[in-house]
Amino acid sequence: MSGKSILKRIDWLSIFIYLALITIGWVSIYSSTFDEAAPSIFDFDTLHGKQLFFIGASLVAIVVILALEANFYERFASLFYVISLILLLGLFVFGKTIAGATSWYNLGFFNLQPSEIAKAATALALAKYLSDIQTDIRQGRDQLYALLIILVPALLIIPQPDPGSALVFFALVMVIFREGLPLYYLGIAFIAILVFITTLIFGTIWVSITLVLLLTLFLILKKKKSRIRILPMFAFTVIAILFSFSVNFVFNNVFEQRHRDRFSLWLRLENDPAKLESIRKSIGYNTYQSEKAIESGGFFGKGFLEGTRTKGDFVPEQHSDYIFTSVGEEWGFIGTTTVVLLFTFLLLRLVHLAERQKTDFARMFGYGVISILLIHYVINIGMVIGLLPTIGIPLPFFSYGGSSMLGFTALLFIFLKLDSNRLKEGI
């Protein structure tokens, strides 16, 4: 180690944003679970008290993470990954069920959610595998292995059931793209999603006509010397049309009614305003209440501890998945924008940090951290403000919960530790 302390090398901007986010997060939890009869902030019987404890535990974890050797994480990445898989498997035998999902170990003083730990472990394992000198991501076999690293924990989490958390792992595909997976995979996925959504909104006929028109347009405008071949484009269009046809089948026969309702609500598929309103108030109850609560905050908000809707517990999962509503109601547009900007700056800063890494491992892990934080942030806030269908995953650094608080903290600070070491390790 050089004479310079880690405190001088670490990225203080990220830490500052992190501290700002957990502070705002805790204040929101305090406000939404506030009870005038017991205003103490250190009462560990209350949710905000427990969360304060988790924050303290996270700070301890940060010290430990920063104290360890930087190459410790690369060296033991595989071990962490295997341990987390074992923990996920163990849930099938020893798991504790809360709200219908068997996702926790009961450790007495606290319930451990291994899927939160698995996120960091998988990011480490993926970075390690991709940075291996023998891995060539342009080869199909290695692409498959990389995907398997992501898929295995996800497949173990789906039957808990916790499809929301499982979805998060797919964000790690972003890392593989950064490392050379051809972009047209992303293009195909994007077009598939586009066809899926437009088919639900406009119907198969219109989507097919549009696709054929686009193909024709392409053929007309194509330069003679263009190297793009016609046959794959043609095949692609046919597959897209077939896919569009299958969408209705899948939607009507494979999806369950609650899924269909979520989509009807999200895409406003229901034309009858009265029916739509009734779906909003039943299936979309959570989102309806959270939108209304955020709306009622206005520009300046109702003020600290003044949120009537959040205080009355009208928004379910107020302190966990829907914690952002509390910010919206009490701190208004100013508060919500501040949080969105803080997340944006943090993520952009992390991209900057990742790109300046000297080692492949550190860069890839950095991308893993960004992907996981980004997908949580997009899905959670997107759901709370009614832009995305309901998928229950926590908002990083905000939502109540010890495992997720520790998991996200570990993710961020392992990366900051790697970053602080970037000049020492050499190439």
In angstroms, what is the minimal distance from the CB of 205 to another protein?
A: 30
Cβ(107)–Cβ(114) under 8 Å?
no
Applying CB under 8 A, which of residues 64, 182, 355, 424 lies at the interface with another protein? 355
Applying CB under 8 A, which of residues 40, 106, 282, 308 lies at the interface with another protein? 308
* Segment near another protein (CB under 8 A); pick from 5-13, 25-33, 70-78, 311-319: 311-319
3-state helix/strand/coil string of 67-129: HCCCHHHHHCHHHHHHHHHHHHHHHHHHCEEECCEEEEEECCCCEECHHHHHHHHHHHHHHHH
In angstroms, what is the minimal distance from the CB of 302 to another protein?
A: 10
Please count the other Cβ atoms lying within 10 Å of the Cβ belonging to residue 10: 17
Please count the other Cβ atoms lying within 10 Å of the Cβ belonging to residue 313: 12
Cα separation of 247 and 242, whole Å? 9
The amino acid sitting at 50 is K
Cβ(210)–Cβ(199) under 8 Å?
no
In angstroms, what is the minimal distance from the CB of 170 to another protein?
A: 15
Q: Which C-beta is closer to another protein: that of 10 or that of 347?
A: 347
39 touches another protein (CB under 8 A) = no
What tokens does 157 get? 């989490």
Q: Which C-beta is closer to another protein: that of 222 or that of 281?
A: 281
* Segment near another protein (CB under 8 A); pick from 63-71, 197-205, 233-241, 308-316: 308-316
Which residues ranging from 51 to 70 are in contact with another protein (CB under 8 A)? none
Q: Which C-beta is closer to another protein: that of 94 or that of 190?
A: 190
Locus of tokens 């263009």: 226
Q: Which C-beta is closer to another protein: that of 65 or that of 176?
A: 176
Cα separation of 265 and 389, whole Å? 8
What tokens does 316 get? 């379910």
- Residue 79: alpha-carbon gap to chain centroid: 24
Applying CB under 8 A, which of residues 21, 70, 294, 412 lies at the interface with another protein? 294
Q: What is the DSSP letter of 385?
A: T
# residues near another protein by CB under 8 A: 42
Q: Which C-beta is closer to another protein: that of 384 or that of 414?
A: 384
Q: Which C-beta is closer to another protein: that of 331 or that of 400?
A: 331
Q: Considering just the CA atoms, what is the radius of gyration of the chain in Å?
A: 23
Q: How many C-alpha atoms does 211 have within 13 Å on its Cβ side?
A: 27
Q: Which C-beta is closer to another protein: that of 66 or that of 391?
A: 391
Which residues ranging from 367 to 396 are in contact with another protein (CB under 8 A)? 367, 370, 374, 377-378, 381-382, 385-387
Mask for 254-293, x = binds another protein (CB under 8 A) = -----------------------------------x-xx-
333 touches another protein (CB under 8 A) = yes
Q: Which C-beta is closer to another protein: that of 54 or that of 324?
A: 324
Q: What angle do CA 340, 279, 390 make, to 5 degrees?
A: 35
The amino acid sitting at 90 is G
**Cross-strand partners of 98:** 101
Mask for 150-179, x = binds another protein (CB under 8 A) = ------------------------x--xx-
Locus of tokens 């597959």: 239
In angstroms, what is the minimal distance from the CB of 188 to another protein?
A: 16
In angstroms, what is the minimal distance from the CB of 395 to another protein?
A: 12
Locus of tokens 């586009």: 194
Cα separation of 327 and 117, whole Å? 27
Q: Which C-beta is closer to another protein: that of 136 or that of 313?
A: 313
* Segment near another protein (CB under 8 A); pick from 63-71, 157-165, 246-254, 328-336: 328-336
Strands 101-106 and 96-98: antiparallel
* Segment near another protein (CB under 8 A); pick from 99-107, 200-208, 303-311, 409-417: 303-311
**Cross-strand partners of 112:** 105
Applying CB under 8 A, which of residues 297, 389, 394, 407 lies at the interface with another protein? 297
Distance set, CA 68 to CA 25, 325, 370, 416 (Å) = 28, 38, 22, 12
Chain residues binding another protein by CB under 8 A are: 174, 177-178, 183, 289, 291-292, 294-299, 308-309, 311-314, 328, 332-333, 336-337, 340-341, 343-344, 347-348, 351, 355, 367, 370, 374, 377-378, 381-382, 385-387
